[in-house]
Amino acid sequence: MADQKTLGERLAEHGVSRRAFVKYASWLGSLMALPPATSRAMAAELAKAKRQSVIWLSFQECTGCTESITRSKGPTLEDLIFDFISLDYHHTLQAASGEAIEAARHAAMAENKGKYVVVVDGSVPMKDGGIYSTTAGHSNYDTLMETVKDAFAVISVGTCAAFGGIPKANPNPTGAVSIGDLVKDKPVINIPGCPPIPEAMTGTVAYLLSFGKVPELDHLGRPKAFFGENIHDRCYRRPFYERGQFAHAFDDQGARDGWCLYELGCKGPITYNACATMKWNGGVSFPIQSGHGCLGCSEPDFWDKGGFYVPLSGSIGPTAKLVGGAALAGAVAGVAAAAVARHRKASLNKG
């Protein structure tokens, strides 16, 4: 837990030189579009930093965000982040349980008062006294508010923590809210996505650790370095959109030729994320490259935007706040989905 060694000293003990920091900072600086001088400063600061205490709280979530951040292929550049942090509490990864792990959380909070980072995945149920999700006999709300009290910053990982996500989808039976709806007196950084790109999560933690400050955020609290660009603008299929070449079914000639998926409901034009540039699984691919439109999973209420397979021009309906409108949008989505399904069936029969 508390550890007075610097990260440089820790790595040196494992036979890894300060070069690792130079390399890590080059990579991260490139991902975050930092000026080279800033990357160099980051390398120096990281080597001098102490391990960052991280308390990870899981509320109404599916653990997909943890899967994303821990899914990599061996001891590589991307894994160095796990040497830079001390993960003092995490339901899925911790070995301890029961009172011992709750005591560890309290100890980490006391030892790192004002300095620890709280990562949250999952939304918080507020209906009926928050009884729909509890840990150690406490509601998620109580655990969250107790834990963030002395935190330096809070990172909402995944769309559930950032915007309420799927638990908040209509009709939101548990009264789910985002972390930003509840935590008002600390910096809250949103890293949405279902799940988020691992580099966006680790990059943000490394930035906090190196510079002791929150990176520049957009109007939805997302780091601009990762969420500053539109999927559509950076999509390799964009030239087909410009030429008006659209796939109309997932198995038509247009789809086979890699044409634009706009008419199949791609939400790329309204989605800000780094999938089109950083891609997934070590840069292998991303949904559009695999032949499926973007679901817009890094945007608020992506689940309630009228249907994944409805073109944008017909799908941006109002959400929970306007029940009538939402119902109408749902009905439109249903009709359109049925139409797509019929079309697909017809195409299959032909094929």
Partner 1 sequence: MNAECGHPAPAASLADAVFAELAHALARLAETGEETVIDLRSLPFGPTDLEALAEKLGDGEVTCALEVAGRSEVRETGFAGVWWVRHFGAGDEIAAEEVHVTRIPEILVSHPDDVAFAARRIADAVAASPQNEPTAADEEDMSRG
Quickly count helices (H) and strands (E) in the chain.
Answer: 15, 9
Determine if 225 is a binding residue for partner 1 (CB under 8 A). Answer: no
By C-beta, is 240 or 308 nearer to partner 1?
240
**Which H, E and C letters describe 223-284, residue by residue?**
EHHHHCCECCCCCCCHHHHHCCCECCCCCCHHHHCCCECHHHCCCHHHCECCHHHHCECCCC
- In angstroms, the CA 191 to CA 236 distance is 24
Q: DSSP string covering 53-81, please?
A: EEEEEE-BS-SHHHHHHH--SSSSGGGGH
In the window 46-65, what residues touch partner 1 (CB under 8 A)? 47
Interface residues for partner 1 in 268-307 (CB under 8 A)?
A: 281-284
Q: Which is nearer to partner 1, 170 or 277 (CB)?
A: 277
Contact predicate 201/191, CB 8 Å:
yes
For the chain, how are helix, strand and coil distributed in percent, rounded to 5? Answer: 45, 15, 40
Task: Rank residues 79 and 128 by Cβ distance to partner 1 and give the closer one.
Answer: 79
Smallest gap from residue 97 Cβ to partner 1 (A):
31
Q: How far is the CB of 81 from partner 1 (least distance, A)?
A: 11
Binding range to partner 1, per CB under 8 A, among 18-26, 182-190, 267-275, 324-332: 18-26
Q: Is 184 in the site for partner 1 (CB under 8 A)?
A: no
Please identify, using beta-carbon distances, which residue of 10 and 292 lies nearer to partner 1.
Answer: 10
- Contacts for 39 with CB less than 8 Å, ≥ 6 apart: 25, 26, 28, 29, 30
Least distance between partner 1 and beta carbon 247 (Å): 24
Nearer to partner 1, 83 or 251 (CB): 83
**CB nearer partner 1, residue 12 or residue 332:** 12
Which of 1, 5, 9, 127 binds partner 1 (CB under 8 A)? It is 9
CB-nearer residue toward partner 1: 33 or 346: 33
Task: Look at strands 138-139 and 134-135 and give their pairing.
Answer: antiparallel
Query: In the chain, where do the E strands start and end?
Result: 52-58, 85-89, 117-121, 124-125, 134-135, 138-139, 153-157, 176-177, 188-191
Q: Establish if 73 lies at the interface with partner 1 (CB under 8 A).
A: yes
Choose the binding region for partner 1 from 32-40, 102-110, 149-157, 170-178 (rule: CB under 8 A).
32-40
At 149 the three-state DSSP class reads coil
Number of shown-chain residues binding partner 1 (CB under 8 A): 34
Which of 1, 5, 67, 79 is the binder for partner 1 (CB under 8 A)?
79
* Whole-number Å distance between alpha carbons of 78 and 245: 38
Measured from the CB of residue 40, what is the shortest distance to partner 1 in angstroms? 7
The residue ranges that bind partner 1 (CB under 8 A) are: 8-9, 12, 16-20, 22-24, 26-27, 29-30, 33, 36, 39-40, 43, 47, 72-80, 281-284
